A = this chain, B = another copy of it.
């Protein structure tokens, strides 16, 4: 494996990328209403349930039928736009708007009834079903794309890394939700480098010795390295936890390298990253809520067997990564505050920030694409 280090120090994105309302609007259109966005774990959505979620400000309803089928629609009635579903509720065969009782088939969104309204012949019911939203389940997680022509689901960073983990079987044991006063990209940038580890993460740098040097793998050392695994736990430690002990039986079928690695990552830009350990996993979801704000959601995932152990406390397992995430959140907010300076125009990346450079390219490539309209097409008619 050759060195991943950058051979020069490129500029970062400009300051406006982190504070400007127009830039943010462009990202919402070109990235957040186009790419696949994580909206939760399938196992957390009970059979026969309808649930409203918000994707980059857009209301969406997840419909899971009694037999497990999943359908997803925009949360807006085709009559006069009312919100179809305000709170999670049981789901039957129909989705009924609470305003004028228009009813749609839960499976495909087809308009079944206009209740007391009696449309004239110019109204074509087949063109007035709920507007569908593309969805895809991967590793037990539900992803949706608001694009009319969604991209292929193909996260480009480490997609195969979790193949040896039974991700679909894992259930959520603990959840952390935290609002941060920073642009969503700042959190991803923090995720993408370990130069900050010695100063920001003393506990993590103790658990994973190479982090004390500000690097993520042997490969970052001058002259490159042989194996290049990203992170090996310190002697005697088995997983990410306060005492380094595992919380249940190790997953079967992991390679030796996977067992030795502190954390096996899969990055799904722009929405989430998965981290798998020898005994559990977690998924961290990043949701923008404005140019300078975001929501962080972390979910800790365990096998049903681990969850069923006498006296098992998932919050205790979550305590270690919670410390790390809180440190990352504070660092990201600190970064955001400084970016508001009129003296800040752009920064410079260091050779170790190769993943961050890749992320900047990922963002800019999408912003440079022409943006298609969301949802249904069709010109707005006049009132006559």
Contact = CB atoms under 8 A, between A and B. Distances in A.
Contacts of A282: none
Nearest to A55: B342
Interface in A163-192: 189
Interface size bracket, A side: 35 or more
Interface stretch (A93-101, A238-246, A257-265, A273-281): A93-101
Contacts of A344: 74, 76, 81
Q: How many subunits of this chain does the assembly comprise?
A: 3
A83 B346 CA distance: 14
Contacts of A49: none
B128 A11 contact: no
A361 interface: yes
B58 A341 contact: yes
Interface in A187-241: 189, 195-196, 198-200, 213-215, 222
Given A338-B77, A341-B58, A344-B76, A351 B100 contact: no
Interface string A73-98: 01111111111101000000000001
Contact of A116 (B214, B348, B382): B214
B334 A86 contact: yes
B11 A382 contact: yes
Contact of A83 (B120, B195, B337, B380): B337
A147 to B, nearest CB: 11
Interface of A: 6-15, 18, 33, 57-59, 74-84, 86, 98-101, 114-120, 122-123, 128, 131, 146, 189, 195-196, 198-200, 213-215, 222, 331, 334-335, 337-353, 357, 360-361, 364, 374-376, 378, 380-384
Given A11-B383, A98-B200, A100-B214, 15 more contacts: A10-B381, A58-B340, A59-B338, A80-B189, A80-B335, A81-B335, A86-B337, A100-B199, A101-B199, A116-B198, A117-B195, A117-B214, A117-B351, A146-B342, A345-B380
